[in-house]
């Protein structure tokens, strides 16, 4: 009799344990559902971030250039769009993509010689000597600060020549999503190096996300350059006219008879990183100032 009672009690205990465990499992599932719902609500709130409000009493600006775009990377908001799909020669803005390719496909530790052919490239910036050898890191610093065409040619040569390097450039542009961009050299000397403001914003975002060190380099006032096979050094100065602008976070300008004056520049504006693209301007510094003054008026800050 006792054995029957014990067996009955054991069965009861098993039933109770199953019921209790199911209760806790359901409770945990409820918690998971609630958490996922909370996450969805939070993500929706982030997506519903309030964008700046346009004052339509302020007329659109008169653009001194062939294309322009002012875009906040942090809020994904475009303050200004002007002929953003128009192709235009980008001149030395090309050197930003050249730098990306060197970092990703060749390596900044690569030793790069300066040949007589490189020294014959149009332009004298860089003050190189034939036979000097530089690390990839130092060469891109000179490339960006002095906008050295000689350095760009040296990079082409270490990659196997212009054709081979240009292939890498155009491949990288496609990878980034720059489908309206076409390049013929690493320096931007060729007027056939063309892009659009829309494509250049993609390049700006790529650099900001993948290679912010490039922006740090372009903010340097100067750089002590020294070949790895020489004891001599020299100072290379930053030729970017925006280097004196306290809001400047980095970027590159480009100038040529065909391109006129271009800029792809990062600036701090109302606490955010704002990219300013101007192509084909007759005065990019003045144009940039006028565009940001217009934004201040057309998108007034809301009172808190």
Q: Give the pLDDT score at 270.
A: 95
Q: Is residue 40 part of a domain?
A: no
* CA–CA dist 62, 293 (Å, integer): 12
CB 279 within 8 A of CB 92: no
Q: Is residue 269 part of a domain?
A: yes
| pLDDT tens-digit series, residues 71-106 | 999 999 999 999 999 999 999 999 999 999 999 999
Statement: residue 121 has pLDDT above 80 = yes
* CA–CA dist 85, 301 (Å, integer): 29
Q: Is residue 268 part of a domain?
A: yes
**CA angle centred on 267, ends 92 and 42, rounded to 5°:** 125
Q: Is residue 60 part of a domain?
A: no
Q: Give the pLDDT score at 41.
A: 45
Q: Which of 31-40, 53-62, 156-165, 170-179 has the lowest mean pLDDT?
A: 31-40
Q: Give the pLDDT score at 51.
A: 87
Percent of the chain with pLDDT over 90: 80
Q: Give the pLDDT score at 35.
A: 54
Q: Give the pLDDT score at 34.
A: 53
Q: Provide the CATH number for the domain around residue 209.
A: 3.40.710.10
DSSP structure class, residue 134: E
Statement: residue 26 has pLDDT above 60 = no
Q: Is residue 86 part of a domain?
A: yes
Statement: residue 129 has pLDDT above 90 = yes
Q: Give the pLDDT score at 193.
A: 98
Q: Is residue 28 part of a domain?
A: no
**CA angle centred on 277, ends 302 and 125, rounded to 5°:** 135
What pTM was estimated for this model as a whole? Answer: 0.83
Identify the H or E element spanning 250: strand 248-256
Q: Is residue 17 part of a domain?
A: no
Long-range CB contact pairs, 184-187, < 8 A, 24+? 185/94, 185/152, 185/156, 186/94, 186/95, 186/98, 186/152, 186/153, 186/155, 186/156, 186/162, 187/92, 187/94, 187/95, 187/98, 187/121, 187/123, 187/149, 187/152, 187/153
Helix/strand/coil for 13: helix
Q: Give the pLDDT score at 197.
A: 98
Mean pLDDT within 114-126: 87
Q: Give the pLDDT score at 8.
A: 59
Domain that holds residue 158: 67-298
Mean pLDDT within 207-230: 97
Give how far Cα 190 sits from Cα of 121, 122, 194, 256, Å: 12, 11, 9, 9
Report residue 146 as tokens: 């002095």
| pLDDT tens-digit series, residues 29-64 | 555 545 555 555 445 444 556 789 999 999 999 999
Q: Is residue 34 part of a domain?
A: no
Instruction: Choose among 176, 221, 206, 211: nearest CA to 275.
Output: 206
Query: What is the number of structural domains in the chain?
Result: 1
């Amino acid at each position: 009799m006792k054995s029957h009672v014990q067996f009955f009690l054991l069965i009861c205990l098993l039933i109770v344990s199953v019921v209790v465990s199911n209760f806790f499992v359901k409770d945990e599932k409820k918690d998971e559902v609630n958490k996922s719902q909370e996450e969805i609500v939070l993500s929706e709130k982030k997506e519903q971030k309030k964008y700046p409000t346009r004052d339509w009493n302020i007329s659109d600006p008169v653009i001194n250039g062939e294309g322009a775009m002012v875009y906040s990377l942090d809020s994904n908001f475009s303050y200004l769009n002007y002929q953003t799909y128009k192709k235009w020669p980008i001149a030395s803005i090309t050197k930003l993509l050249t730098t990306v390719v060197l970092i990703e496909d060749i390596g900044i530790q690569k030793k790069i010689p300066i040949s007589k052919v490189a020294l014959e490239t149009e332009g004298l910036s860089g003050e190189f000597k034939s036979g000097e050898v530089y690390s990839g890191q130092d060469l891109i610093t000179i490339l960006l600060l002095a906008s050295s065409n000689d350095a760009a040619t040296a990079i082409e040569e270490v990659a196997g020549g212009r054709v081979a390097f240009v292939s890498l450039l155009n491949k990288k542009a496609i990878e980034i999503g720059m489908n309206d961009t076409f390049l013929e050299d690493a320096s931007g000397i060729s007027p056939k190096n063309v892009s659009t403001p829309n494509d250049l914003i993609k390049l700006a975002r790529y650099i900001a996300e993948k290679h912010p060190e490039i922006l740090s380099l372009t903010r340097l006032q100067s750089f002590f350059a020294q070949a790895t096979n020489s004891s001599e050094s020299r100072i290379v100065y930053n030729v970017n006219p925006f280097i004196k602008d306290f809001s400047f976070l980095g970027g590159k300008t480009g100038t040529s008879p065909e391109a006129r004056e271009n800029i792809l520049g990062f600036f701090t504006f109302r606490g955010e990183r704002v990219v300013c693209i101007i192509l084909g301007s007759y005065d990019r510094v003045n144009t940039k100032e006028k565009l940001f003054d217009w934004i201040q008026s057309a998108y007034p800050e809301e009172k808190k």
